[in-house]
C-alpha cells in the first residue's frame, strides 16, 4: 500500500496498525497537504460470514462517524468510498498517545487524576449514548490523549452498536465484540447495554488508581473485582467505582449522566447538619427596679417618713400602713409570678422546637428517609411551631431521598409516586430543591419507559408494559413517546398474534411451507426480540418436519360444510419437500 494513491487524492505513507477487520495507514491529503488516517477493510478471515460481518461493521463505522462528527472528542470523517471492490474510510488523524502509555504497572494515579479522567470520558459517552450509540470496546488503547490540548478522544468506532435512546437502554442480541478484561458479562453474552460502556470505563479508572491491569485482579464469589486493597481511594470514589463495575447491569448506573451527577453531588445530597446538644435558650431573668414616682408638692400621699425615723415606725403600726403594705406585697408577688410563668412557657416551647428539629435531622442522617418525610408533615409537628422554611427543606430532602432509594431499586413507578406526595404548594418556586424534584421526575419517567420497552421487547408482555407506561406523569417530556409506543405495541401484538395463530394451525395440518411463510412474514415486519423468537420457533418446527422426510404440504382449511369428524382434512402434496430454513432464522 505504500505510495498508493486512493481516489486520486489520498497518498498512503506508512502503516499505523491493524485489527480484526481492517488495516490502518497514515496518508497525505493531496488537496490540502494535511495528514489523515486511511482505514482499509481487510478481514482476517476468508470465511463468507466473517467477511459479511466485517463489511457491515466497516460501513457502520463510517455512518456512525458522520452521525457523531459534531463532537470535538471523536475523530471527524473526511471521506468514505469503494474503489476496485475495496472499502476505504478516511478520517481525521489524532496526534497524541493512547491512554495505555500513561497506565504503567505499579504506578497508580492520584484520586484527582482519576476523577478528571472519568469526567472527561463520561462526557463523550453521554454524547454518543444520547445519539443512540454504544461503543462496545472502551479500553485504554481506544482513548487517545490529544497532543494539542491533552483532551481524551474516543477512537475506533468500528464496534459500535446503535439503539433507540427513546425506547430502551437494552440492545438487541448481537455478536460479542470487545476486549477481555473490559467487557461485562452481558456483553460477552452478546447482549450489550448503554451501561456496558460505563462498566468498561470503571475498569479503566480502577486500572489507573491501582496501577494493576484488570486481568491481574481477583474476583469475589459474586464476580466483583477485588481492587480496594491496592488503591488509595476515598469512600466517595470507592462507592462510585463499585457501582460502575457491578456484574448485574441493573445494579449499575443507568447512564453516563448519572455518574457525572454522582461525581458532582448537589446540595440535596448533602447531609443535614446536626444541631449539637445544648441547654435550651431562655430569656434573661427578670430584674426588678425601684422607680421613684414624682408627686405634686401639695398632695401628701403618705406621712414624711424619712425626716424622722420614729414617726415612720409609729406610722407602720397604723391600719393604713398595714393596708398599703398588704396591697403592695400582692402586687409585687403577682408581677413576678406572671413574668416568671411567661418565661418558663417560652423556654419550654423553644426546647420543643429544638427537640423536633433534632429528631427530624437525625432521622435523615440515619437514612430513615420515609420516617423523616412522614413526621415532617404530621399535624403535631406543625403545631410545635418549627419555622416553616426549615420544616419544608427537611421535608423535601427526606422525600427526595426516599424516592431515590426506590429508584435505586429500579422501582421507578413508585419513586415517581413518592415525588408526587411532596406538596409543591408549600415549596418556594425559587428554592434550589424545587428544580431537583422536576429533574428526578423526568429522569425516572425515562427509565420507566425503558423498563416498559424491555418488558415488551424481551418478554412480549404487553399488559405489564402498558401498566408501567400508565405510571408516567402527563407532564413528562416522554409522555408523547410513551403514548405512541403504547399504540404501536398494541397494534403489533394484535397483528402478530393473528399471524402466529395461522402459522401454528398450518403446522398442525402439516402445511410446512405455509408455516415457513408466516414465520418469514413475522420476522420481516418487526424488530421486537420476542416476536422474532416466535418466528424462529415456527421456522425450526417446520424445518424439523421437513428433515423427518415428511412431504411439505400447503395447508387447506377444513370444509365447514363437511361435519363428518371421522374424515380428517385433506391436503395436497407440495413441491417444497426438503426446503431449508431461510437465513432469516439461522
CB 358 within 8 A of CB 275: yes
Cell numbers that stand for 548 in this block: 423427518
| Strands 86-92 and 143-146, bridge-based pairing | unpaired
SS3 of residue 69 by DSSP: coil
What would the grid cell of residue 12 be?
498512503
Annotated binding residue at 150?
no
d(CA 308, CA 192): 109
Position of cell 455478536? 175
Task: Name the nearest CA neighbour of 242 among 233, 327, 77.
Answer: 233
Task: Please say if 137 is a catalytic residue.
Answer: yes
**Beta strands of 231-346 (E only): which ranges?**
none
Strand partners, 329: none
CA distance 388 to 95: 59
Query: Which residues make beta-bridge pairs with 552?
Result: none
- Retrieve residue 411's grid coordinates: 422501582
Report d(CA 168, CA 529) in Å as an integer. 13
* Radius of gyration for the alpha carbons in the chain, expressed in angstroms and rounded: 39
Distance CA 336, CA 469 (A): 68
At 15 the three-state DSSP class reads strand
Name the β-bridge partners of 18: 23
Please give the order of strands across the beta sheet that includes 10-18.
5-6, 10-18, 22-29, 35-41, 86-92, 77-83
Please enumerate, as own/partner, the contacts of 41-46 that have beta carbons within 8 Å and a separation of 24 or more. 41/86, 41/87, 41/88, 42/18, 44/20
CB neighbour class for 54 (10 Å; exposed up to 12, middle 13-18, buried from 19): buried
What crossing angle do the helices spanning 256-263 and 111-130 adopt, rounded to 10°?
150
Taking the alpha carbons of 402, 404, 409, 411 in that order, is the dihedral positive or negative? positive
Q: Can you give 208-219 as a three-state secondary structure string?
A: HHHCCCHHHCCE
H-only helix segments in 143-271: 185-188, 194-210, 235-244, 256-263
Q: What H or E segment, with its residue span, contains residue 79?
A: strand 77-83
| Angle between the N-to-C axes of helices 432-459 and 462-469, in degrees from 0 to 180, rounded to the nearest 10 | 170
Taking the mean position of all CA atoms in its chain, how far away is CA 220?
26
| Contact yes or no for 242/308 (Cβ under 8 A) | no
Which of helix, strand or coil describes residue 7?
coil
Which residue among the candidates 137, 156, 197, 242 is catalytic per the annotation? Answer: 137
CA distance 267 to 522: 52
Question: Which among 43, 49, 1 has a CA at the least distance from the CA of 18?
Answer: 43
Torsion of CA 152, 156, 159, 161, to 10 degrees: 50
Annotated binding site: 39
Q: Which residues are catalytic?
A: 137
Amino acid at each position: 500500500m505504500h505510495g498508493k494513491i486512493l481516489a486520486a487524492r489520498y497518498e498512503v505513507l506508512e502503516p499505523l496498525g491493524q485489527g480484526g477487520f481492517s488495516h490502518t495507514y497514515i496518508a497525505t491529503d493531496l488537496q490540502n497537504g494535511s495528514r489523515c488516517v486511511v482505514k482499509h477493510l481487510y478481514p482476517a478471515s476468508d470465511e463468507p460470514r466473517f467477511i459479511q460481518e466485517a463489511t457491515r461493521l466497516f460501513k457502520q463505522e463510517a455512518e456512525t462517524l458522520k452521525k457523531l462528527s459534531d463532537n470535538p472528542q471523536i475523530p471527524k470523517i473526511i471521506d468514505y468510498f469503494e474503489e476496485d471492490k475495496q472499502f476505504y474510510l478516511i478520517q481525521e488523524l489524532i496526534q497524541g498517545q493512547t491512554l495505555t502509555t500513561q497506565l504503567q504497572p505499579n504506578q497508580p494515579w492520584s484520586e484527582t487524576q482519576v476523577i478528571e479522567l472519568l469526567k472527561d470520558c463520561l462526557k463523550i459517552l453521554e454524547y454518543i449514548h444520547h445519539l443512540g450509540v454504544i461503543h462496545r470496546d472502551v479500553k485504554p488503547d481506544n482513548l487517545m490523549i490529544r497532543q494539542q490540548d491533552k483532551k481524551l478522544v474516543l477512537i475506533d468506532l468500528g464496534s459500535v452498536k446503535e439503539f433507540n435512546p427513546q425506547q430502551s437502554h437494552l440492545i438487541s442480541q448481537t455478536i460479542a465484540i470487545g476486549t477481555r478484561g473490559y467487557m461485562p458479562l452481558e456483553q460477552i453474552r452478546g447482549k450489550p447495554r448503554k451501561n456496558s460502556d460505563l462498566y468498561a470505563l470503571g475498569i479503566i479508572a480502577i486500572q489507573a488508581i491501582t496501577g494493576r491491569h484488570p486481568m491481574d485482579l481477583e474476583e469475589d464469589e459474586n464476580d466483583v473485582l477485588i481492587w480496594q486493597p491496592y488503591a488509595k481511594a476515598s469512600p466517595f470514589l470507592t462507592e462510585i467505582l463499585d457501582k460502575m463495575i457491578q456484574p448485574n447491569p441493573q445494579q449499575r448506573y443507568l447512564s453516563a449522566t448519572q455518574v457525572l451527577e454522582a461525581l458532582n453531588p448537589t446540595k440535596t445530597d448533602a447531609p443535614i447538619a446536626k444541631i449539637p446538644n445544648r441547654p435550651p435558650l431562655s430569656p434573661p431573668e427578670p430584674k426588678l427596679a425601684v422607680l421613684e414616682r414624682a408627686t405634686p408638692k401639695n398632695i401628701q400621699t403618705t406621712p414624711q417618713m424619712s425626716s424622722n425615723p420614729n414617726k415612720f415606725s409609729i406610722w407602720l403600726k397604723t391600719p393604713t400602713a398595714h393596708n398599703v403594705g398588704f396591697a403592695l406585697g400582692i402586687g409585687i408577688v403577682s408581677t413576678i409570678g406572671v413574668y416568671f410563668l411567661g418565661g418558663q412557657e417560652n423556654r419550654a416551647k423553644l426546647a420543643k422546637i429544638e427537640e423536633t428539629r433534632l429528631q427530624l435531622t437525625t432521622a435523615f442522617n440515619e437514612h430513615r428517609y420515609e420516617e423523616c418525610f412522614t413526621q415532617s408533615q404530621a399535624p403535631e409537628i406543625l403545631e410545635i411551631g418549627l419555622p416553616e422554611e426549615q420544616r419544608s427543606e427537611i421535608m423535601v430532602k427526606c422525600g427526595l431521598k426516599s424516592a431515590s432509594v426506590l429508584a435505586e431499586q429500579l422501582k421507578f413507578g413508585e419513586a415517581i409516586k413518592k415525588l408526587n406526595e411532596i406538596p409543591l404548594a408549600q415549596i418556594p418556586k425559587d428554592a434550589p430543591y424545587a428544580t431537583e424534584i422536576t429533574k428526578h421526575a423526568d429522569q425516572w419517567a425515562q427509565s420507566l419507559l425503558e423498563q416498559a420497552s424491555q418488558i415488551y421487547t424481551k418478554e412480549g408482555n404487553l399488559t405489564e408494559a402498558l401498566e408501567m407506561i400508565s405510571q408516567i406523569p402527563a407532564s413528562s417530556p416522554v409522555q408523547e413517546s410513551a403514548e405512541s409506543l403504547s399504540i404501536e405495541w398494541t397494534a403489533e401484538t394484535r397483528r402478530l398474534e393473528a399471524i402466529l395463530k395461522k402459522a401454528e394451525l398450518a403446522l398442525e395440518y402439516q402445511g410446512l411451507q405455509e408455516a415457513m411463510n408466516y414465520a418469514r412474514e413475522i420476522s420481516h415486519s418487526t424488530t421486537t426480540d420476542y416476536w422474532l423468537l416466535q418466528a424462529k420457533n415456527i421456522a425450526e418446527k417446520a424445518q424439523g418436519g421437513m428433515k423427518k422426510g415428511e412431504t411439505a404440504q400447503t395447508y387447506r382449511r377444513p370444509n365447514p360444510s363437511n361435519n363428518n369428524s371421522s374424515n380428517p382434512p385433506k391436503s395436497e402434496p407440495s413441491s417444497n419437500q426438503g426446503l431449508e430454513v431461510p437465513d432469516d432464522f439461522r
